[in-house]
Amino acid sequence: MDLSGNIIWITGASSGIGRALAMECARQGATLMLTARRVEALEATRSACERSEDHRCMIHDVTAHETHAAVFNSILDTWGRLDMVILNAGIGQRGSVQETDPEVERRIMEINYFGCTEVVHTVLPHFLERNDGYFVVTSSVMGTLSTPRRATYAASKHALHGFFEGLRAELYQTRIGLTLLCAGYIRTDISFHSVRGDGEGYGAMDDQHCTAMPASTFARRAVKAISLRKPMVFIGGPERFAPLLQRLSPGLVRWLLPRMVTRD
């Protein structure tokens, strides 16, 4: 699949993986609608993209349900169609189950899960009408396993896998495609913006993220996987092999994870 000429909506495009994906998609010739909550950061992303004048930015909070249609209608008004949506907006977690307030758990699910599925409900009729379109979901290695102090984050990614694999099965007779991007440790500020158990920001960079794969490398590999219409791809360092090891020896992984993962 050639991205050149595609109209792509990217959520969470203001920084990190979203920004890197925007820059790579633009390099491949796509035209972008970039959305997030921070207008200055969005404009910085747009300016960093090739053909910056061709792209658009809109303020969009994935938990504000009424704003999904506004972005989608703006895309149709501007370009007449949408070819792909990259569901990238999300939030991390740094807190044990015992110390995490249930309201914080709901907030994580609202952003990471419903913030994706509700956009799907907005654009799916358009894709079905055209019998064409593509969903890309930024998930995580923790969509298949979990680690200490990340239980709700992992649960939100597990939920995404359940939803989108079900959607994939429903769309098997259509030309609509779907790729799950399962990220390992990527050099972004996700840990800095993660939430503690009380809902306050974590405000620090994990060692794993400071030395991890650059977001630009992730984006290149991700866009290649999308171009090949891969249903799922694991991108990162050695941690990307953890799901395979879990399938081969689940008991070993259950023993290893608490001992290998840094506790905050």
CB atoms within 10 A of CB 253: 17
On the question of pLDDT at 241 being above 70, the answer is yes
Average pLDDT, the chain: 95
CA distance 263 to 194: 14
CA distance 190 to 92: 6
Query: What was the pLDDT predicted at 192?
Result: 80
Q: Has residue 198 been placed in a domain?
A: yes
Query: What was the pLDDT predicted at 262?
Result: 56
CA distance 63 to 156: 14
pTM: 0.95
On the question of pLDDT at 63 being above 90, the answer is yes
CA max distance for the chain: 54
Model confidence at 193, in pLDDT bands (50, 70, 90)?
confident
Q: Has residue 51 been placed in a domain?
A: yes
Is residue 19 within 8 A of residue 81, CB to CB? The reply is no
On the question of pLDDT at 233 being above 90, the answer is yes
On the question of pLDDT at 31 being above 60, the answer is yes
**Residues counted in the chain:** 264
CATH code, domain carrying 202: 3.40.50.720
Query: What was the pLDDT predicted at 78?
Result: 98
Query: What was the pLDDT predicted at 211?
Result: 82
Domain that holds residue 194: 7-260
Query: What was the pLDDT predicted at 261?
Result: 64
Q: Has residue 100 been placed in a domain?
A: yes
Query: What was the pLDDT predicted at 216?
Result: 98
Query: What was the pLDDT predicted at 204?
Result: 82
**What percentage of the chain reaches a pLDDT higher than 70?**
98
Q: Has residue 167 been placed in a domain?
A: yes
On the question of pLDDT at 263 being above 70, the answer is no
Predicted confidence (pLDDT) per residue in 142-184, tens digit: 999 999 999 999 999 999 999 999 999 999 999 999 999 999 9
CA distance 9 to 68: 11
Q: Has residue 27 been placed in a domain?
A: yes
The amino acid occupying position 86 is: I
The single residue listed with the structure tokens 């977690």 is 93
Q: Has residue 30 been placed in a domain?
A: yes
Q: Has residue 2 been placed in a domain?
A: no
Query: Is 153 annotated in the active site?
Result: yes
Query: How many domains does the chain divide into?
Result: 1
Active-site residue identified among 113, 153, 185, 202: 153
Model confidence at 227, in pLDDT bands (50, 70, 90)?
very high
What average pLDDT does range 92-111 have in this prediction? Answer: 96
Q: Has residue 1 been placed in a domain?
A: no
